Amino acid sequence: MNTERIHSLDGLRAVSIVLVIIGHIAGTVNAPIWLTPLHNLGNFGVKIFFVISGFLITVLLLEEFRRYGSINLRNFYMRRSFRIFPAFYFYIFCMVVANSYGFIELFPGDVFHAASYTMNYHHERAWALNHTWSLAVEEQFYLLWPLALVMIGIKRALIFAFIFVLIAPLIRAGMWHGLEATPSAMIREFQAVGDALAAGCLLAAIHHRGWEIPAWFRTAWFIWVPITLFIVPVCLYKIDPSLFYTVGQSYVNLAAAAIIWRCTTVNHGFTYRILNNTRVIWLGTLSYSLYLWQEPFLNSWSREWFASWPINLVLAFACAIFSLYLVERPFLKIKQSLSATKKSNTIKNGTLSP
């Protein structure tokens, strides 16, 4: 199994960021009116990102264990740091500068919670750093999940992930009815959304075993997925918001996992060609920087010129491209150089430890 490049995964990242962008463009100055009903698409895009993260990280860790018989936590955290921190902290720095010059307004505690990856528990926040809540969730996952695999073993960790997926609706129900949690807490705090990542972890175990998506779903998904991701959650919210925030979130996670399973299993057909198109793959590789930089420009609360359609989209892409090629890529080259050196030393020392 080649874990260096799982087909369709970058394409799925591209789909996710497009959903986020459409959801955030809706309501901005001069944006097309027809986008307004699509405002909630951003939530679905983030859910798909979460499942992808759980899936990819677990696939890589399981493959590392298969090849070497162990998981090197130090190397894992170093790789994640080079991949995530440079672009993230560069963005925060730019927002601090923008705040000092009056282009945006940050709230007390915003910078601390963003920089410490705790924004998902800071619910009074300015828009420019609002989206760092999802990056906080992912970073908390990166910290806990590999540690769990090493400390309690792969099998027990996967069992725990399965149990968490099952009880997550009960956790959310307790938050909603017992603790009277806010809607922000229901879709941002780790205990409320971690089951999306856990679903990706379980999907990785299925992928690692080589199980393919059932034949009936390869075609039926074109009907089932739109109903799952768009119609069902809206209906649940109309019936009772508590249903949307409890079982509805689990339903969306299941749909996202099914989409990823189908798209990474089937390597032919129209969907495969679209997701593996070179332009779509490029958008997928841009998705992290684009997710960071779309926030200050795609702001429906702002009436500033830079948050007006279509200049807001142009600026978001321009800043994201700058971040990708002048911040992300140089640090990724450093990471690759360090990895190559470590492999060379490993071969010289005659050890299998990664």
pLDDT of residue 350: 36
How many other CB atoms are found less than 10 A from the CB of residue 139? 20
Q: Which residue has the higher pLDDT, 230 or 59?
A: 59
CB count within 10 Å of CB 64 equals: 19
pLDDT category at 220 given cuts 50, 70, 90 is low
Rounded distance between C-alpha atoms, residue 266 and residue 205, angstroms: 17
* Residues 6+ away with beta carbon under 8 Å from 351: none
Domain ranges of the chain: 9-337
Angle in degrees, CA 98, 17, 209, rounded to 5:
135
CA atoms of 107 and 91, how far apart (whole Å): 16
Per-residue pLDDT at 351: 35
3-state DSSP: the chain helix, strand, coil percent, rounded to 5? Answer: 80, 0, 20
pLDDT of residue 347: 35
The confidence score (pLDDT) of residue 346 equals 38
Instruction: Give tens-digit pLDDT for 54-108.
Output: 999 999 999 999 999 999 999 999 999 999 999 999 999 999 999 999 999 999 9
Instruction: Give 163 or 5, the one with higher predicted confidence.
Output: 163
| pTM, two decimal places | 0.90
